[in-house]
Amino acid sequence: MATLLAGVPVTVVETHHDPADAVLFPEEEAVVANAVAKRRNEFTTVRHCARTALARIGVPPAPILPGQRGAPGWPAGVVGSMTHCAGYRAAVVARAGEVTSLGIDAEPGEPLRDPDVLNLVADETERAALAALGARHPATPWDRLLFSAKESVYKTWFPLTGRWLGFEDARVELAADGTFTARLLVEGPVVDGVELTGFAGQWVVQDGIAATAIVLPVTSALPVG
* pLDDT the model gives residue 139: 96
Whether the pLDDT of residue 221 is over 70: the answer is no
Q: What is the pLDDT of residues 198-208, one digit of tens each?
A: 999 999 999 99
* pLDDT the model gives residue 96: 94
- Residues of the chain with pLDDT > 70, as a percent, come to 97
Q: What is the pLDDT of residues 101-131, one digit of tens each?
A: 999 999 999 999 888 999 999 999 999 999 9
- Which residues of the chain form CATH 3.90.470.20? 11-104
Specify whether the CB–CB gap between 92 and 213 falls below 8 A. Answer: yes
Specify whether the CB–CB gap between 148 and 205 falls below 8 A. Answer: no
Q: Mean pLDDT, to the nearest integer, of 149-168?
A: 97
Q: List strand residue ranges (DSSP E) for the chain, in order.
A: 11-15, 78-85, 88-95, 99-108, 170-174, 179-184, 190-191, 194-195, 198-206, 209-217
Whether the pLDDT of residue 149 is over 90: the answer is yes
* pLDDT the model gives residue 25: 97
**Architecture of the structural domain at 11-104:** Alpha-Beta Complex (3.90)
